[in-house]
Chain A
Amino acid sequence: MIELLSGPLFKISLLVFTVGLIFRLVQYVRGLDWRLERVAYSHMGKAGVIGAIWSVLTWILPFGTRGWRTQGFATIAFFFFHLGVVICPLFLAGHMVFMKDALGFSFPSLPVAVGDVFAMLGVLGGVMLLARRITLPQVRFLTDRKDIALLALCLLTLVTGMVARFDLFAYDFMLGLHMLSGELILILAPFTKLSHMALFFASRAQLGIDFAVKRGGASRGPAFPW
């Protein structure tokens, strides 16, 4: 079972993930229309580029925007969770050994202890997000089953990974479940709101361009005070 999960299934899911997200990005850009959105993409110049970069950067910086600053708990939850789900798959020492094996190359890996911290932050953040989702009326009201399922799936992946890493119990089963849920995330990404892993950058860049070239960039400057 583990062999299947770490071999062909891993490769297939990675393929779906990569091709799927690239396809989504290409479709996004191709679907942009200066007349419909009323944004002069072809005349955006330097201002547009700065606006796009600024819009992405300020929002991936913890407390980098007014939006993040006015939402203390959610902001911490978000950044903890995302440090976990973005850093861990790409840089954990254990993952890199596996990646080298499966794909023939890997990224530089984090010291094991640092990796553990990111994983724990991820779990903590995820639990905070879940708590927020369940307790705050305005979030609960918007939440559908898919939102819970996806968040739970991410948490499951993080938690099973940690249980296996520390060999707490049922090592093989936990490792199997970890791989399965991780691969499920990869496969689902292009088809669900998880596509934001790529489309977040597209959407943020687009709004940055919108404000920089049309909505005030000329007098305010391209960097909108997000």
Chain B
Amino acid sequence: MPEGILCNRKPINTEEDLKRLLADKGGKQYYEEMKNMEVDVRALQNTLEKTCKSRTRTWLEICAHCSLCADSCFFYKANNRDVEQTPSYKINTTLGEMVRRNGKVDTEFMIRAMDIAWGKCTCCNRCGNYCPHGIDVGVMMSYLRGVLYSQGFCPWEMKIGAGMHRVYRAQMDVTTEDWVDTCQWMEEEGQEQIPSLEIPIDKEDCDIMYVLNAREPKIYPDDVQAAAMLFHIAGEKWTVPSEGWENTSLAMFAGDWQACADNVKAMYSAIERLRPKMVVETECGHAHRASAVEGPYWAGQEDGKAPVPYLHYVEWLANAIRDGKIKIDPAKKIKEPCTLQDSCNYIRNHGLEKHTRYIMSQIAEDFREMEEHGAHNYCCGGGGGMNGIGRYREERDRGLFMKLQQIRETGATLVISPCHNCWDAIRDTMEVYEVHDIKWSFLKPLILDMCIIPDHLKPQDEDEE
């Protein structure tokens, strides 16, 4: 069987196909079909020739097999120094072998490569900081994912995720109508606390256009409200677009480069339509990577820059606190020992560490750094799509242990995690390892609790409260 009904090389483009794939619970039939899916060697060779260029080929060739990258990978450490978790080994036996054989590989090879590309690497890029030759295995893994995706070898959830972006322009089935409704609902509800609260939709020429993660309207609408309140308290002139509001990219995790580009373009066209001075993004790491770091390139911007500056939430917040737009009530600062999870995607891979450090200095009395932090942080264990892939749940759970140890070493009882994936991973860590004395949180709810709300924003009729 060259291709399956559910498992094939065609991306998901219609709601119908998406629903059919979703109906295959856990991807049972999908993975069965994968076992018999043939590799289109000609197409694979063509892809390699066109996209595997000197940087990648040189990396694969000059690797000294010195294993200096081994200790840098949290998977290697968390798996009891399993030699098969050495970054160099992981990439050399997959992409390296594929290139050496010039694409003449079989189904079994592809499935194994898939299990490594998604099951043994979160594309956190830490190994790239530790290789003397400057070989970034995370970058190559991400490239390999694209190659595997083009051949249909991709975990079930990733195929669905990329399909979601293609069908809904969002990582979940949130339509424009759902989104607008949520904004209105959250606006009304929020007015109980701040009567003048607004969630302005499609307002032109604002200072800020806010973009976010579809999980927020879908699962955590309170987060949308918290963002609105903080913008309102800070006195920002802001808006959300009715379309082009999603900045995450499961397509990036899946290696579906076309869907990545389309997603970014949808956001950029909202910018064109509404002409904001800047974009502020929610607390999500990979979303920032996908829309502000890699995104401009996918959209074809030769200078590598988005049309207007993209500020991750931590950057906006740091500025707002610094400028006095958000005032922290000193009595309400966090008193318990707390630590911070640096998201690889905007810390190591986008240099925002100074903003998070500034925020922590303003909101916490007992802030404790993890031993490896900033650009050298370890991945939370759930990055690169791993949190969502059932097939690799065991691998993921084992990987989480590293972060737990790091957190424990600080003695913190609260972990601040301004990234959706990290937040999820930390939540799951505490569940998997049955830890009950450590809490975790995004920034927004904490800040909302401790910031001073100006009197004129409070409900006038105090008695009725």
Contact = CB atoms under 8 A, between A and B. Distances in A.
Interface in A22-72: 27-40, 42-43, 55, 59, 66-68, 70-71
A207 interface: yes
A32 B55 contact: yes
A43 B303 contact: yes
B89 A141 contact: yes
Interface string A203-224: 1101110100111111111001
A81 B374 CA distance: 32
Contacts of B92: 142
A216 B81 CA distance: 30
A10 interface: no
A206 B64 contact: no
Interface in A123-152: 136-139, 141-144, 147
B304 A32 contact: no
Nearest to B350: A216
Nearest to B297: A38
B132 interface: yes
A142 to B, nearest CB: 4
Nearest to A24: B58
A99 interface: no
A62 to B, nearest CB: 12
A196 interface: yes
A195 B57 CA distance: 12
A32 B130 contact: no
A39 B58 CA distance: 17
Contacts of A207: 128, 134, 136
A31 B53 contact: yes
Contact of A59 (B70, B72, B132, B376): B132
A195 B62 contact: yes
A199 B62 contact: yes
Contacts of B177: none
Contact of A43 (B88, B294, B302, B376): B302
B53 A67 contact: no
Contacts of B375: 216, 220, 224-225
Interface string B48-80: 000101110111011111111011100010000
Interface in B125-141: 128-136
A30 B53 CA distance: 9
Given A31-B53, A214-B293, A40 B58 contact: no
B88 A219 contact: no
Interface in B161-219: none
Given A66-B376, A78-B132, A225-B374, A35 B297 contact: yes
B129 A226 contact: yes
Nearest to B294: A38
B432 to A, nearest CB: 26
Interface residues of B, number: 56
A11 to B, nearest CB: 27
B61 A193 contact: yes
B167 to A, nearest CB: 25
A128 B427 CA distance: 44
A201 B115 CA distance: 33
Interface in B83-132: 83-84, 86, 88-89, 92, 128-132
Interface string A141-167: 111100100000000000000000000
A74 interface: yes
B353 interface: yes
Contacts of B63: 193
B257 to A, nearest CB: 10
B26 interface: no
B78 to A, nearest CB: 14
Contacts of A173: none
A225 B83 CA distance: 27
Interface centre among B55, B63, B315 (most CB of A within 10 A): B55
B62 A55 contact: no
A202 interface: yes
Interface-central residue, A37, A39, A206, A207, by most chain B CB under 10 Å: A207
Nearest to A142: B65
Contacts of B70: 138
A200 interface: yes
Please indicate which of the listed interface residues A59, A196, A217 has the most CB atoms of chain B within 10 Å of its own CB: A196
B354 interface: yes
B62 A203 contact: yes
Given A67-B130, A214-B304, A219-B350, A28 B58 contact: yes
Contacts of B133: 196, 200, 203-204
Contacts of A36: 51, 53, 55
Contacts of A206: 55, 134
B158 to A, nearest CB: 20
Interface string B334-359: 00000000000000111111110000
Contacts of A70: 71, 130
Contacts of A137: 81, 83
A78 B130 CA distance: 14
A220 B351 contact: yes
A136 B67 contact: yes
Contacts of B54: 27-32
Contact of A40 (B55, B62, B303): B303
A34 to B, nearest CB: 7
A195 B61 contact: yes
Contacts of A27: 54
Contacts of A38: 294, 297-298, 304
Contacts of B57: 31
A201 to B, nearest CB: 10
Interface of A: 27-40, 42-43, 55, 59, 66-68, 70-71, 74, 78, 136-139, 141-144, 147, 193, 195-196, 199-200, 202-204, 206-208, 210, 213-221, 224-226
Given A136-B67, A137-B81, A208-B134, 8 more contacts: A29-B54, A42-B302, A67-B131, A142-B83, A203-B59, A203-B135, A214-B293, A221-B351
9 contacts: A30-B54, A33-B53, A34-B297, A40-B302, A78-B132, A193-B64, A203-B62, A203-B133, A206-B134
Please provide the 3 A-B residue pairs with the shortest distance between their CB atoms, ordered closest to farther: A216-B351, A31-B54, A220-B351
